[in-house]
Amino acid sequence: MEPMIRLDAVSKHYPARKGSAAVTALSETSLDIARGEIFGVIGRSGAGKSTLIRLINLLERPSSGRVVVGGIDLTGLDNSKLRAARRQIGMIFQHFNLLSSRTVFDNVALPLELAGLSRKDIRSKVTPLLELVGLADKAGRYPAELSGGQKQRVGIARALATEPKVLLCDEATSALDPETTRSILGLLRDINEKLSITIVVITHEMQVIKEICDRVAVIDAGAVVELASVEQVFTRPKTEVTRSLLAVVSGDELPAPLSARLTREPVSGSAVLRLRFTGDDAEAPVIARLSRSHGIDASILHGQVDAIRNASFGTLVIAVPVSGDALAAVIRYLENQNVVVEPLGYLAADLRAAS
Ligand SMILES: Nc1ncnc2c1ncn2[C@@H]1O[C@H](COP(=O)(O)OP(=O)(O)OP(=O)(O)O)[C@@H](O)[C@H]1O
Ligand SMILES: [Mg+2]
């Protein structure tokens, strides 16, 4: 099936200006986003995330390449056709961008006024949207009277007013606390299911990707460095950038007392391994089996099991008192159990007891 969104070799260069060098914010990027998908884009600050999302609705014009949304090549449209095509694409923002002088109702009504609808038609569209986002009782309030989460709900209702096929979210939950973030992400998921809207989520937080996305692209320095299902990226990250973004959510950050004791050079004592489990393996007693089959007393130093959608995954940091060929055999054994093994270093014998 034809994708909902296609970027075809899209680049964006910003020319040099006084005091700043030229920047390639996105280079030769091609990707397809399927209809009905919730697609995430993650990367560090300055990686090019906002540039990428603004290219999808042509808030930024690409320097080269094509942007096709719903089968229409936006890059080939004149301004009036582009304005019409943009009604297919809603957008929400980190700081909500509401008009403070307008009520909740009138904020949501704004795109419909601009499209020239009658007051009656506007009412018949705005009322159900406010119900959908859970703000039916706040129609007459002003933005200053709302919480951050409620403001974002207004932003979502406004973005949906023109019945778009695509919703773009640029750091839409970055200004919200974790609980409010979860409720907004839940609402986005609801909207995706109820209205079959394709959603693109830009974030620097893996937690957000984990909660709602189907697939995720990791971008770094203006290029997609990894693109796969969320399960795949969380359990089998391929790049250093992805691993460091994951470190925050997946328990990769070792406790400081432990990392302070790790040495790179082998010492007599234990090798420290990070194990990544995925799916059914996350619950399998791999460590118990390792102890039985190799007669090894593995100690668990650190660990976390988590869930993505319906799949569970986990990381476990263990110390095994072996080296050389015996260590290689342990690693082979674990890999055969479908565990991804990453050697982290060594712990001296006396220190291991103390950890
Ligand atoms: N209008 C502009 N003029 C010049 N350079 C720009 C412009 N917009 C963005 N850039 C540059 O392009 C690069 C990518 O910026 P972008 O805003 O897309 O990053 P980001 O991933 O969204 O970062 P953040 O997480 O901080 O929002 C940066 O180096 C930025 O300085
Ligand atoms: Mg940004």
pLDDT digits (tens, 9 = 90+) for 304-325: 877 776 667 778 899 999 888 9
Q: Please name which ligand lies nearest the alpha carbon of 52.
A: 1
For the segment(s) 256-354, the CATH number from 3.40.47.10, 3.30.70.260, 3.20.20.70, 3.40.50.150 is 3.30.70.260
Q: What is the pLDDT of residue 251?
A: 65
Strand 223-229 to 215-220 pairing: antiparallel
* Ligand 1, atom 28: closest residue by C-alpha: 46
Q: How confident is the model at residue 355 (pLDDT cuts 50, 70, 90)?
A: very low
Ligand 1 atom with minimal separation from the 222 CA: 14
Pocket test for ligand 1, best of 51, 54, 204 (most atoms within 8 A of CB): 51
Q: How confident is the model at residue 140 (pLDDT cuts 50, 70, 90)?
A: very high
Determine the distance separating the centroid of ligand 1 and the alpha carbon of 48, expressed in angstroms.
Answer: 6
Pocket test for ligand 1, best of 17, 23, 44, 52 (most atoms within 8 A of CB): 23
Q: Please name which ligand lies nearest the alpha carbon of 63.
A: 1
Q: How confident is the model at residue 276 (pLDDT cuts 50, 70, 90)?
A: confident
CA distances from 229 to 104, 109, 170, 284, 304 (A): 37, 36, 20, 23, 21
Quick check: 278 pLDDT over 90? no
Quick check: 352 pLDDT over 50? no
Rg, Å, the chain Cα set: 25
* Ligand 1, atom 11: closest residue by C-alpha: 25
Q: How confident is the model at residue 246 (pLDDT cuts 50, 70, 90)?
A: confident
CATH 3.40.50.300 boundaries in the chain: 5-242
CA angle 170, 174, 180 (to 5 degrees): 115
CA distance 82 to 330: 60
CA distance 73 to 277: 42
For the ranges 179-188, 237-246, 248-257, the maximum mean pLDDT occurs at: 179-188
Q: Please name which ligand lies nearest the alpha carbon of 18.
A: 1
CA distance 83 to 109: 18
Strand 215-220 to 269-278 pairing: unpaired
Write out pLDDT tens, residues 166-213: 999 999 999 999 999 999 999 999 999 999 999 999 999 999 999 999
Q: What is the pLDDT of residue 313?
A: 74
Higher pLDDT, 70 or 303: 70
Q: How confident is the model at residue 280 (pLDDT cuts 50, 70, 90)?
A: low
Q: Which CATH superfamily hosts domain 5-242?
A: P-loop containing nucleotide triphosphate hydrolases (3.40.50.300)
The mean predicted confidence, pLDDT, of the chain is 91
Determine the distance separating the centroid of ligand 2 and the alpha carbon of 50, expressed in angstroms.
Answer: 4
CATH 3.30.70.260 boundaries in the chain: 256-354
Coil, strand or helix: which one is 210?
helix
Higher pLDDT, 253 or 125: 125
Q: What is the pLDDT of residue 310?
A: 63
Q: pTM of the entire structure?
A: 0.84
